[in-house]
Amino acid sequence: MKRSKLFMLIGALLVAAMLLAACPAAVPAEAPASDSAAEEPAMADEVIEIEYWQYNFAARVDAMDQLIAQFEEANPNIKVVHNADIPYAEFRDKIAASVPAGVGPDVATLFYGWQSVWIDSGYLVPLPEDAFPPAMVAEKFSPMVQASFVEGTLYTLPTAVRALALFYNKDLMADAGLDPENPPSTLDELADQAVACTQRDDDGTLVVQGFVADPAAQDHHWFREVLVRQFGGVPYTDDYTEVLYNDEAGMQAWNYLLAFHTDLATGDRDLFDGSTNAFVGGHVCFHVDGSFRLGTIAKNNPEMNFGVAELPSHNGVKSTFGSYWTHGLTKKAAADQARFDAAVKFLQFITSADAGALWVDIVGELPAQLEAGSNPELLADEKLGAFAAGLEYSHATFFADESQQRQAIIDSFDMVVLTDEDPATALQIAADTDQEVLDDFWSSR
Amino acid sequence: MRLTLHQRQIIWAYIFMSVALVFFVIIRWYPTILAFNVSFRDWNVFEGSGPWVGLENYQEIWQDAGKPRSSVTAAFSNTVRYVLFGVPSQLVLALAIALLLAQIRRLSAVFRVAYFAPYVTSAVAVAFVWNWLYQPETGLINQGLDLVGLPQQPFTKSPAQALPSITAVAVWQNLGFAVIIFLAGIQQIPSHYYEAARIDGANAWQLFWRITLPLLNPIIVYLTVLGTISYLRLFALVQNMSPQGTGGPLKSTTTVVLEVYREGFSSYKMGYAGALTVLLFFLILLITIIQLRFFSRRVEY
C-alpha cells in the first residue's frame, strides 16, 4: 500500500518535471532577444550581419542577389543574409509567426498597401530623417511614393514601382479584323473593340474573350483610381479618410466595368480562373495589368504576340494606378544601433537610382527614382514604355487594410453578377464597407 | 530501495508516456491556453504581447455579428451547415459501402485502399484536383453534364452551390476512414446473432435494423462525434477551393477557422482571432457533450 503511494508520487513528480521542462521551450519570445542584446558591443572592424526578407519571385531574388553582392563589396564589414524562400501567399503569415520568436528580418520588403497594418502592429520603425530627408524623397522619387508617408512620417522606400497599362493580344485582334497596331486609346474604343474581338461557338460558349472584367485581378484598382477619375469623380478625399466613389461619376464608372460582364458579355472571369490566367493563356484580347505581368508571360507563354499600350483615356483624362513593393526597417533592426546603421546603409543602397536601373533590367519594374524612370531609352521601350509613361499621372491608393478594401469591391461585383443585385445598391454597399474599414483605421489613431 | 519487477514496469510506463505528454503539453495544451489568454488582450502579433482588455474582443465579435453581411455570422452559420450536410451524408454513405465491402471476398483489399486513399491525401492536393473537376466549360464534371445533355453548373463559383460542392469533397475525402471503422464494427458482430435470427425467420431488412444497426451504435456515436468535430474545424478545403481563398463567393463558404486565419494573419487582429477560436472551442465542446449524452446508449443482447 505504502509502496504504491510512493510510485504514484514518483509518477506525479515525473509529470511535473516534464511540465517544467516544457515551459522554457514554450516561451520562445524571450531567449533570442537577450542573445542579440549580448552581442551589442560590436567592434568597429567586426562583421555585422543583417537579415533581409522578401517573398519568393525568381527575378526579384536574382536582382536582389546582385544588389547584395555589390553592397557587400562596397561594405566589407556588413553581411546581408537574404531570405527569399517564402512563397507570396505565406509571406505575411511567416513574418507574423517569425518576428515574435526573434528570428525575423532587419530589412523587409512589403506591399505598400500593407504599411498601415504593419505600422499599427508596431513592426516598422520610421526611417531616420538624416539618411532619408523628406525633401529628397519628394524631389527624386515618383510622386506615388508619397504613399510611404503615413501621417507625415516616412516609413518605407521602394527600389521600383509599377503602373497599370493595357495589354492586347495582337493575333486575336488580327483574327477579329482589328488593327493590331492601333489598340484602343479611349474607353469607348475599348468597349467597341472588346465586343468586336469576342467570339462564341455555336452553343454560345466563349472561344475568344474580348475583355474580362475581374475585380479580383487588377480591375478593382482600375475602377477606383482610373475609371472613377475619368468619369469626373475622385475615389477618396485627398487624405483617404472618406470614400467618394459612391456618387454619379462613380456609378458611371461602375456601370462601365460591369457592362463587360453583363450587357456586352465580352468575357467570363470563371472560365480560366481569372482574367490574368485567361490572358496569359492567349484567350483574351484586352487586359488591364501591371508591368510585373511581362515576366509571367515571358515565362509561361513566350510565343504570345502581344503589345502594351497606355490605359485608355476618357473625357481627355488619363490616369493609372501605381503601386509598389517597398522596403522598411523593422523593430528588430532598431533594437541594436550597429545593426540599425548597417540596415540604413543597405536601404540607402537598394533604393538608389542605380539599384532601380539594375532592377528594371532584371525584374521589369520601373525605377522608383524619376531620374532613372524618365530615361528616354526606357520610354521608347516597346513593352515598358507604356508603363513608364503612366508614372507621371499615376495614383497610389492609400490602403488602411488592402485585402478588406479589395474584398469590398469584389463582393459588390459578385452581388451584381451572381445574385442580380441592383448595381447602385451594390456600389453603395462597397462604399459603406470600405468606409467602415477606413473609420476603423483612423479612429484608432 | 529495491523495486519489484512490477514496480519497475510501472516506472518505465510513466517514462514512456511522459514523452507523449511533453508533446501534448507543448504542441496542444500550451497553444490552447495561450489562445484563451490572447482572446482577452489587444494582442500585438509582432511583440507577442498586449494589454488586457477583458471582454472587448468578444464584444466586437458580437457587434460585428449584428451587422448586415457580417463575416462572423456567415462563418458560424456556414460551419453549422457543413456539419448538417456533411456528417449525415458521410455516415450513411460509409455504412452502405462498409456493408457492401463486408459481403465481398475478392478484391476487398483493393476496394479498401481505394476508399481510404483520399483520407491520407493532403487536403490541398484534393482541393486542386476537385477545382479542376468543377471547372466551368473545361472541367470533367461539366463536360460530362454536356455529354448527357444537362446544363453546365457553376459549382464553387456560385453562392448557392459553393457550400454543397465543398461539402461533397469533404465527404469524399473523409469517407474512407468511416468505412474502415464501420467495417471493423460489422466484423465484430458475432455471427451467431444472425444465425439465431434467421432460424426465427427474420429477413435481411430485419437483420439490419434489429441487429447490425443497434450493435453499431457505439461506432455511429464515435464517428458522429469525430465527424462533427472535423466539419466544425473545416479549413484547408475552403481556403483552397473558394475564390482567392476568401471563403467566397460572397462569404458563402467561409468557416469559423477561415475567419480566425484571415483576422489573425491577414489583418493581424490576433485578439479578435483568439476570441473566435475560444468561441469555436466552446461550440465544439457543447455539441460533443450533447451528442455523447443523447446518442450513446448501451445495446446488449
B205 and chain A in contact, CB less than 8 A: no
Chain B: residue whose CA lies nearest to A98: B46
**Beta bridge mates, A329:** A107, A125
State the Cα torsion A27-A31-A34-A39 to the nearest 10°: -160
Tell me, what's the pLDDT at A17? Answer: 47
To the question of pTM greater than 0.90 for the whole model, the response is: no
Averaged pLDDT for residues A357-368: 87
pLDDT, average across residues B183-200: 92
* Residue B261 placed within a domain: yes
Comparing A290 with A90, the larger pLDDT belongs to A290
Q: CATH number, domain at B284?
A: 1.10.3720.10
Judge whether A216 is closer than 8 Å to chain B, CB to CB: yes
Q: Is residue B147 part of a domain?
A: yes
pLDDT value at residue B299: 58
Contact: B267, A10; criterion CB under 8 Å? no
- Residue of chain B with shortest Cα separation from A13: B14
Cβ–Cβ contact A401 with B under 8 A? yes
**pLDDT over 70 for what percent of chain A?**
89
What pLDDT band is residue A220 in, cutting at 50, 70 and 90?
Answer: very high
User: pLDDT grade, residue A3 (50/70/90)?
Assistant: low
Is pLDDT at B16 greater than 50 in this prediction?
yes
* Nearest Cβ partner for A29 among B48, B159, B245: B48
Instruction: Let me know how long chain A is.
Output: 445
What's the gap in Å between the CA of B118 and the closest CA on chain A?
25
CB contact burial B236-261 (16+ within 10 A = b; e otherwise) = bbbbbbbbebbbbbbbbbbbbbbbbb
Quote the pLDDT of residue A30: 36
**What percent of chain A has pLDDT above 90?**
59
> Per-residue pLDDT for A36 more than 80?
no
- Classify residue B264: in a domain, yes or no: yes
Residue B47 in domain: no
Q: Which residues touch B77 (CB under 8 Å, ≥6 apart)?
A: none
Query: pLDDT tens-digit profile of A59-69?
Result: 899 999 999 99
Cis bond before residue B136 (omega within 30° of 0)? no
Helix (H, G, I), strand (E, B) or coil at A306: strand
- pLDDT-based confidence at A380, cuts 50/70/90? confident
Give me the phi and psi of A100, to 5 degrees please: -60, -25
Chain B residues lying within 8 Å of A205, measured CB to CB: 137
Tell me whether the CATH fold assigned to A43-162+324-395 matches the one assigned to A164-320+400-443. Answer: yes
Q: Which of B94, B65, B287 is nearest to B173 (CA)?
A: B94
Chain B positions touching A101 (Cβ under 8 A) are 48
Best residue in A8, A405, A410, A437 for a mutation probing chain B (most B CBs within 10 Å): A410
Rounded mean pLDDT of A205-217? Answer: 94
Set of chain B residues whose Cβ sits within 8 Å of the Cβ of A18 = 18, 21-22, 25
pLDDT, tens digit (0-9, with 9 covering 90-100), for A102-113: 778 999 999 998
Please report the pLDDT score of residue A215 as a whole number: 95
A24 touches chain B (CB under 8 A): no
Kindly state the helix (H) or strand (E) to which residue A255 belongs, with its residue range.
helix A248-259
Task: Spell out the alpha helix ranges (H) of B156-299.
Answer: 162-188, 191-199, 204-207, 213-215, 217-232, 236-241, 256-265, 270-295
Residues listed for chain B = 301
Q: Give the H or E element holding residue A157.
A: strand A156-158
| pLDDT score recorded for residue A19 | 44
A21 in contact with chain B, both atoms CB, cutoff 8 A = yes
What count of other Cβ atoms lies within 10 Å of the Cβ of residue A238? 8
Using the beta-carbon criterion (under 8 Å), do A418 and B158 form an inter-chain contact?
yes
* CB-based contact A387:A393 (threshold 8 Å): no
Q: What is the Cα–Cα distance from B151 to A205, expressed in whole angstroms?
A: 12
Does residue B108 contact residue B179 with C-beta atoms inside 8 Å? no
pLDDT level of residue A35 (50, 70, 90 thresholds):
very low
Residue with cell 443523447: B294
Within 10 A of A139 (CB to CB), how many other CB atoms are there?
Answer: 10
Average pLDDT, chain B: 91
- B23: nearest CA partner in chain A: A22
**pLDDT at residue A426 greater than cutoff 50:** yes
- pLDDT, tens digit (0-9, with 9 covering 90-100), for B113-143: 999 999 999 999 999 999 999 998 889 999 9
CATH architecture of A43-162+324-395: 3-Layer(aba) Sandwich (3.40)
C-alpha cell at A84: 527569399
Cβ atoms A184, A166 nearer than 8 A: yes
Q: Do B46 and A418 touch (CB under 8 A)?
A: no
Q: Kindly tell me if the per-residue pLDDT of A16 is higher than 70.
A: no
The pLDDT, as a whole number, for residue A198 is 95
Cell numbers at A89, concatenated: 501567399
Nearest by CB: B25 against A22, A120, A415: A22
- Angstrom distance (rounded) from CA A7 to CA B75: 49
Which residues in chain A touch residue B251, judged by CB atoms under 8 angstroms apart?
411
Cα gap B260→B48, rounded to integer Å? 17
Which residues in chain B have Cβ-Cβ distances shorter than 8 Å to A268? Answer: 136
Question: What is the Rg, in whole angstroms, of the alpha carbon atoms belonging to chain B?
Answer: 24
Residue A87 contacts B where some CB pair is shorter than 8 Å: no
Residues with Cβ within 8 Å of residue B50, at least 6 apart in sequence: B38, B41, B42, B43, B44, B270, B271
Per-residue pLDDT at A378? 83
Q: Chain A closest CA to B5's CA: distance in Å? A: 13
Mean pLDDT, residues A190-212: 93
Q: Is the residue at B155 inside a domain?
A: yes
Q: Which of B25, B46, B243 sits opposite A123 (nearest CB)?
A: B46
**What pLDDT, on a 0 to 100 scale, did the predictor assign at position A398?**
87
Please say if the pLDDT value at position A18 is more than 90: no
pLDDT for A37: 41
pLDDT level of residue B1 (50, 70, 90 thresholds): low
* Exposure of B21 in the CB half-sphere (CA atoms within 13 A): 18
The per-residue pLDDT for range B212-246, each reduced to its tens digit, is 999 999 899 999 999 999 999 999 999 999 988 88
Residue B10 lies in a domain: no
pLDDT at B297: 67
Q: Does B50 contact chain A (CB < 8 Å)? A: no
DSSP for A7-53 reads HHHHHHHHHHHHHHHHHHHH-TTHHHHHHHHHT-S--TTSPEEEEEE
Q: Are A86 and A55 in contact (CB under 8 A)?
A: yes
CA neighbor of A273 nearest in space, from B122, B224, B145, B154:
B154
Partner residues linked to A108 by β-bridges: A53, A328
- pLDDT tens for B151-184 read 989 999 999 999 999 999 999 999 999 999 999 9
Q: Is the pLDDT of residue B198 over 80?
A: yes
Across the interface, of A22, A404, A418, the residue whose CB is closest to B22 is A22
B268 and A121 in contact by Cβ < 8 A? yes
CATH H-level superfamily of A164-320+400-443: Periplasmic binding protein-like II (3.40.190.10)
Q: Report the pLDDT value the prediction gives residue A239, as an integer from 0 to 100.
A: 84
| Mean of the per-residue pLDDT values of chain A | 87
Q: How many domains does chain B have?
A: 1
**Which residues of chain A have a CB within 8 Å of the CB of B49?**
29
Say whether pLDDT at B148 is over 80. Answer: yes
Residues of chain A with Cβ-Cβ distance to B133 below 8 Å are none
Classify residue B288: in a domain, yes or no: yes
Looking at residues B80-88, what average pLDDT do you find? 96
Predicted local confidence at residue A436, as pLDDT: 93
Q: Under a CB-based contact definition with an 8 Å cutoff, are residues A343 and A50 in contact?
A: yes
Residues of B in contact with A100 (CB under 8 A): 45-48
Quote the domain boundaries for residue B146: 69-295
Within 8 A of A216 by CB-CB distance, chain B residues are: 243-244
Rounded to 5°, the CA angle A73-A84-A333 comes to 65
The answer to whether residue B60 sits within a structural domain is: no
pLDDT in tens, B240-273: 999 888 898 999 999 999 999 988 887 888 999 9
Interstrand relation of A199-200 and A320-323 (parallel, antiparallel or unpaired): unpaired
Residues ≥6 apart with Cβ < 8 Å to B70: B64
A74 near B CB under 8 A: no
Residue A328 near residue A193, CB atoms below 8 Å: no
List chain A domain ranges. Answer: 43-162+324-395, 164-320+400-443
Residues 356-375 in A contacting B (C-alpha not used; CB under 8 Å): none
Q: Reply yes or no on whether the pLDDT at A2 is more than 90.
A: no
